[in-house]
């Protein structure tokens, strides 16, 4: 099973030792989408019984990023410098797209924190809209960009970094 960084020489699970790696600026940007269906207009216009959708989803996403190492086994706890979320409604598709950016200076990347921020924000949107409908679909959660570390900058949007 060579090639899996979480397996040691005896093929036992372990947390990867990053102590020998240099601290570098790390950034990860992730995105995901929810099809809101009949909850779209209420969500877009902020007319939900549970309150302010975007503020609540922002707080949830940031909290999710900060809690990543407690949720994902073997994920290193990181001192996050910044976590930000952006929300884009599409009237044409009746979707809400969430994009999260996580930044740190450290020995390992923040891809999992950005992905967790997006996931938790989208789950919060679902929770706040489910009184209107359960016919919502969360999808397309993925990394858009990562910076820092041994592999440098990688852009997954098809654009040049």
CA angle in degrees (0–180, nearest 5) for 38-40-41: 100
At 29 the three-state DSSP class reads: strand
Report d(CA 71, CA 102) in Å as an integer: 17
Q: What is the DSSP string of 64-125?
A: HHHTHHHHSTTPPP---SEEEEEEEEETTTTEEEEEEEEEEEESS--HHHHHHHHHHHHHHH
Q: Check if 127 is active-site.
A: yes
CA distances from 20 to 23, 28, 87 (A): 9, 22, 38
Give the active site residue among 17, 52, 86, 127. Answer: 127
Which of the residues are catalytic? 127
């Amino acid at each position: 099973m060579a090639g899996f960084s979480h397996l040691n020489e005896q093929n036992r699970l372990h947390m990867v030792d990053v102590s020998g790696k240099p601290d570098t600026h790390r950034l990860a940007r992730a995105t995901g989408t929810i099809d809101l269906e009949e909850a779209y207009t209420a969500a877009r216009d902020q007319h939900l019984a549970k309150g302010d959708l975007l503020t609540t989803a922002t707080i949830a996403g940031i909290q999710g990023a900060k809690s990543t190492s407690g949720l994902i086994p073997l994920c290193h706890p990181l001192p996050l410098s910044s976590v930000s979320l952006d929300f884009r409604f599409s009237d044409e598709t009746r979707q809400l797209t969430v994009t999260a950016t996580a930044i740190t200076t450290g020995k390992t990347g923040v891809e999992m924190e950005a992905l967790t921020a997006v996931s938790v924000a989208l789950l919060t949107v679902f929770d706040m809209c489910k009184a209107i409908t359960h016919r919502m679909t969360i999808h397309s959660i993925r990394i858009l960009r990562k910076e820092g570390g041994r592999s440098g900058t990688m852009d997954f949007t098809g654009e040049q970094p």
